[in-house]
Amino acid sequence: MKIRFRTTYGLMALALLATGLSATVANADTAFVSNIGWSALYAKTGDGIVEQNRNIFDSKGVLQTNDSTQHPLVWVRIDVTQVTVQYKGGASEANKQIQFIADNAGQKFTFSDDISAANKVVTTDSTGSANVTYTVSGVTADSYLRVGIADCDYINSKTTCPNFAKNKNADLGGPLIFQWEKPGYYPIIKLNLTNSARDVYWDWSEFKNSWVGERSHVFIKTYPVGSTITLPYTVTDIWGAPIANYPISMVAQGAYCGGTVKCKWGNTPSEINTDANGLVTFVEKNKNTAADACKNVDPTTKKRCGIGANFQPTTNQIPESSDIFWPQFVNDMTMNPAAISYRVVNRGGVVAPTGNDVTVSGVVDPALPLSTATSTSDAAAVKTVLSVSYLYNNAKSTLQRVPLYAPDVTVTASAGAYVLRVCPDTVNQTDCHASGMVFSHEVTGTSQMANSQTFGYTFPATLMFASSVAGPATFTVKVGNQSYVIKQTFGTN
C-alpha cells in the first residue's frame, strides 16, 4: 500500500493545474468546439478506474462543476492498461473538432491512442461527445499520463489559436491526470450508520471546511448519557476492494466534550484489525451521567445538559478518507408529546386522506387479509407516516433544551405481526434503493419484514404493517423516552 505521494509529483501536478481549464470561445468561423471547461472533460470510470470528485459547493449549495480542482485526478489500478477520456460538450458542440493532447514527460512507460488523425484532432458526434482511449505498457506505481484538450490545432500551430495572443494557455483545457497505483491504495473508511445517523456532509462541504477529507462524510447522532454506541466501518481501497486484516486505529477526543465536563468512556481497544471483508467495529461505552451532562456548558451558546465527542478511524496512511462521527449525549430524550404524530396514509390499498380511518363498503377499518412469509401486498398492509415536528427535548429551561439528532425510533409488533420502514411512494427509485430501503409494493412477503425495527429519525418515516395472525395487532412506537401504540385488525385469507 502507498504511504505518501512523491513530492515531485505533487509539485508537478500543482504546476499543471495552475494553467487552469477555462471555457474559451473559438472564432465563429472555425469548426472547433467552444466549451473546453471542466464540465465537459471526464474519464470513463469502471473496474480499477475512479475519478476524483471533491464535491465542492459554493455558499449557496451549488456544485462547482467547472472548478479546476473538482476532478483533475483519476486513480487507476496498476493492472489496468487502457483508460478513456470523455469529452461531453452537449448538443451545441455537435459535429465539431477537438484536439486531444497527451504526454507522459519524465515517465518510462509507453502509450498509444486510437486517434486516426496525425494532429490528434477528432470530431464530436451528434450529442457533442468524443471519446479517446489510451493504451499503456510498462506502468509502475506513481506512473501518470496527462491528457488535455484544445479548441484549435495547438500541437502544430499554437500561434494561430484564437486566444493565444492574449494567453498562450487560454485555448487549452485540463489536463486530466491518470495516476497508476497498486491495489490497496487510498483507503476509504465508511461508517455503516447511514440509516440511523444524520448526515451533515452538505453542511460541512469541502468548500466551507477543507479539513473534511475528500470522500469523507460527517455524521451526528444523539444518545442518552451512559449509552453504548456501536460504530461499524467498511474499509476499501479507492476502487472499492476490501482491505482485509489491516489495523485500524480510532482517533477519539475521548476526554474533551465540547465544554467544561470531560467525557468518560469504558475500556475499548484503540486498534482493531479488519476482517476478510474489510469490516471493523468499534464499541464505545459512555459512562457519563445526567448530572455530568447538566454541568457541561457550551462555550458558544451557553447551553447545558448536552455533551459531545469526536470519533474518526484511521489507517495511518496518506492519502486516506474516513467518515467522522459526532455522538451527542444528553440527560433527557423526552420530547414534547405534541411534536410526535403518526397518520395512516393507506390501509388495504385505500387512501386515507384525513384522519386514521378508511371506510370500505360502509365498514370502518375492515379486517385486512393475512400475510405469509411469501405473500403480502398493499391490499393486506397498513402504511403510516411517523412525524416529529420539533427535534428538541422537552426541558422547560431554554438553556437546558438541547437538539436531538437522529434519535432512535424503535417499532415493535405484537406476536405474528410485522413492520418495515419503506420509502414514500413519491421518492425516486434510485434514491430509495441507494438508501437501503424498498417501496411497499416491492414487499412480497413477511420474510422481508421484521417483528421489530430500529432506525434514526432524520425525516418523516413511512412504516408498513402486516400480520400473519387473525385479530387485533399492536405496533408499539418508542421515540426517545416515549411510547405510542398503534392498533390494527387483521382477518383471514
pLDDT per 10-residue tile (average), the chain, 493 residues: 34 37 38 93 97 81 83 97 97 96 95 96 96 97 97 93 91 96 97 86 64 82 94 97 96 68 85 97 93 86 86 93 92 92 92 85 91 93 94 90 93 97 92 90 96 94 96 94 91 70
Q: Enumerate residues 6+ apart whose C-beta is below 8 A from 417.
A: 451, 465, 466, 467, 468, 469, 473, 474, 475, 490
Location of C-alpha cell 504546476: 15
C-alpha distance from residue 476 to each of 44, 411, 472, 473 (Å): 49, 6, 13, 10
Q: Which pLDDT does position 253 carry in this prediction?
A: 63
pLDDT at 62: 80
pLDDT at 256: 63
Question: What Cα–Cα distance (Å) separates residue 83 from each residue in 71, 105, 477?
Answer: 16, 18, 52
Measured in degrees and rounded to the nearest 5, phi and psi for residue 30 equal -90, 165
What pLDDT sits at residue 126? 95
User: CA nearest 341: which of 461, 248, 196?
Assistant: 461
Give 368's strand partners.
490
Tens digits of residue pLDDT in 470-491: 999 999 999 988 899 999 999 8
CA dihedral 69, 75, 80, 83 (to 10 degrees): -10
Choose among 117, 119, 130, 103: nearest CA to 153.
119
Class level of CATH domain 337-490: mainly beta
Cell 489495523 appears where? 247
Write out the CATH class of domain 188-330: mainly beta
Q: What is the pLDDT of residue 24?
A: 34
Identify the pLDDT of residue 333. 92
Contacts of 210 (CB under 8 A, 6+ apart): none
Per DSSP, 4 falls in state S
- Of 226, 225, 227, 245, which is closest to residue 235 (Cα–Cα)? 245
Residue 226 in grid coordinates: 451512559
Among 427, 449, 423, 447, which Cα is nearest to 436's? 423
In the chain, CATH 2.60.40.10 covers: 188-330
Task: Dump pLDDT digits (tens) for 229-264.
Answer: 999 999 999 999 999 999 999 987 656 676 778 888
Rg of the Cα trace of the chain?
Answer: 28
At 457-475, the pLDDT tens digits run 989 999 999 999 999 999 9
* Per-residue pLDDT at 202: 65
- Rounded to 5 degrees, what angle do the CA atoms 83, 88, 89 make? 145
Q: What is the pLDDT of residue 203?
A: 67
Task: Give which of 239, 323, 309, 250 is closest to 281, Cα–Cα.
Answer: 250
Instruction: Output the pLDDT for position 66.
Output: 85
Which are the contacts of 133, defined by CB distance < 8 A and separation ≥ 6? 82, 83, 84, 85, 113, 114
CA distance 335 to 340: 8
Q: Which residues pair with 486 in a beta bridge?
A: 475
Which of 334, 345, 432, 339 has the alpha carbon at shortest distance from 384?
345
| pTM recorded for the entire structure | 0.83
Predicted local confidence at residue 69, as pLDDT: 85
At residue 11, the pLDDT reads: 33
Q: Which of 410, 200, 189 is nearest to 282 (CA)?
A: 189
The whole-number pLDDT of residue 21 equals 40
Predicted pLDDT at 308: 87
